[in-house]
Structure formats: structure tokens, C-alpha cells
Amino acid sequence: MGSLNEEGANKHYLYYRQYGNTMFIKGYIRNFTLIAITLLVGFPSIAKDIYLVTGYDYPPYADKNLPNGGFASDLVVTVFSSMDNVGRVSLAFEPWKRGYDNTKIGKFLATFPYRKTADREKDFLYSDPIVSINTVVFINHNSTLTLATLEGAKACLPLGYTDKAIKDLVERKIVTLQRPTQLENCFQMMKAGRVDFIPINDMVGNEFLHSHSTLNAAHFKHLPEPISKGYLHLMVSKQHPGSKQYIKQFNKYLERIKSSGQYNRLKEKHNIP
């Protein structure tokens, strides 16, 4: 596999964004100022390009077919683009496991959106939360399954997805878990009776069902009460040089965007309640 710059021509790169003329003008003024400072004091400052990766089929948060790549993509690119000394911000879309692994080895600076787990914390630093989520149990429309009757049931979660409540149930051998590569596989398997439920974010499940013509949303429902609640984060590999500083800067500018009201405007734009 080639360098990041070479891979920028590949299909899995959706876009890079510098906020058009606004960022160009800011960059021009900033570069002019840096040149002037360099001439005066001799200390150069070089803007760094940022390479990010996320995954597919996680609406409304991340997917290459969503406006600006979804809410999480839009937010994360906005945060990095607002930082000082940042050049081009490039966002790639890869299968979740591949993007995770490539970030772990430092090929990308960061990946998102992910929930915290003990296994991930061994290799990654987490940002402050970028959005809160509820995990619910999706079942077939005629299923009588409840949270109280999960024992012996078969769950399905695609590779790259996780939920602490389900992990605990699997470890205690209360439920079994199937791990296909795509969320659509889980719904098809549940429709065919091969699995009994899918524990995923309520917004992800609902939007996924209504955006995929191969699935009929009327064939599925989810239990009203969440099985767990949590947050999604940006992750930076501990192997990446300056990982702690990047997380610190990301949190700082994320808070600025929240304080300015831009965060809520992005939520409204992507229909996040």
C-alpha cells in the first residue's frame, strides 16, 4: 500500500476540506504573518496536514454518502480545520477494522466515532465525548423478545462495533454473538431467523433501515428501553508522535465550537436531537 499522499487518489477518500475561500484567506494571512516572523526571528512554523479515517454505514454519524460524511465527520473536520498550524484536512472512509488498524499503526492521525473500551484504551487516547448515544435492541417485528428474556438468544454486531452490556452478556455466556462484516448482514441474518437481535445505536439502526432499499423497515422494531447509554469519541494512537498534544488541542477546539453554538448548529444540520 502506498503513502498517504498516493492513497489520496484512491476511491476511499471522499474529500478534504479547508472551508473554501474563507480558509484560503485565513491561510494566506497566516502564512504571510509566519513569513514575516520567520524573517525577523528565524523560527519557521510549518502547517501540518491532518489525515483522518472513519467507516461506512453508521448514519447519521459517518458514511461517505451522507452530507459532509455525517455529523461526526463534519464535526471532527470542523474542529481540526479551526486549529492553528493545520494545513489540509483529509478524511478517508475504510471498513471499520481496517481504519482502526491503520490508525493504530500511525497511518492516520485519528479515527472516530468510537466508544471507550478497556481493550481500546491499551492502544489509543480518547478525546472528550463528541456525541452521546443510546444502544437499543433491534428485533424482528413479530418477535416477543424483551430485555428480561435475552438468555439463550443470538446477537449480531458487525466487526468494529462494540457495546459493553452485550460484551458482558457474551462473557457470562447468557447470549452468543455473530460478527459479520456489515450491519446489513446482521439485519438479513435476523430476517432469516439466524440471529435474534441487534444491539446498536437507536439512530444508526433507524436511519440505516430507512436508507437501504434491500431492507424493509416495517419488518423490524426496537425495544423502547436502551440496553446501555454512552458516548462516542475520537481516538488517536498512542504510537503517533505528539498524540497527547493532539488530543489536548482537539478537546480545546471542540469546547470552543460547543461554546460558540456551532456544535448545536451542526447537530441541527444532521438532524441529531
List all residues 6 or more positions away from 181 whose beta carbon is below 8 Å from its beta carbon.
95, 158, 159
| Cα 60 to Cα 65: distance, rounded to the nearest angstrom | 10
The pLDDT value recorded for residue 195 is 98
Lowest mean pLDDT among 120-124, 169-173, 211-215: 211-215
Residues 87/81, Cβ–Cβ less than 8 Å? no
Residue 22 scores a pLDDT above 60: no
| Cα 32 to Cα 38: distance, rounded to the nearest angstrom | 10
Q: Using alpha carbons, list the distances in angstroms from residue 121 to 81, 128, 171, 241.
A: 26, 14, 19, 17
Specify the pTM: 0.80
Higher pLDDT, 115 or 9: 115
Considering the chain, what is the average pLDDT of its residues? 86
The pLDDT value recorded for residue 162 is 86
| Cα 138 to Cα 190: distance, rounded to the nearest angstrom | 9
- The pLDDT confidence band at residue 230, using thresholds 50, 70 and 90, is very high
Residue 20 scores a pLDDT above 70: no
Residues 14/77, Cβ–Cβ less than 8 Å? no
Residue 35 scores a pLDDT above 50: no
- The pLDDT confidence band at residue 163, using thresholds 50, 70 and 90, is confident
Residue 92 scores a pLDDT above 50: yes
C-alpha cell at 41: 526571528
- The pLDDT confidence band at residue 9, using thresholds 50, 70 and 90, is very low
The pLDDT value recorded for residue 19 is 34
Provide DSSP, 192-225.
TTS-SBEEEEHHHHHHHHHH-TTS-GGGEEE-SS
Measured in whole angstroms, the distance separating CA 90 from the mean position of its chain's CA atoms is 15
Cis bond before residue 113 (omega within 30° of 0)? yes
Q: For 148, what's the count of Cα atoms within 13 Å in the CB-facing half-sphere?
A: 1
Mean pLDDT value of segment 182-203 = 96
Q: What percent of the chain has pLDDT over 90?
A: 76
The pLDDT value recorded for residue 23 is 29
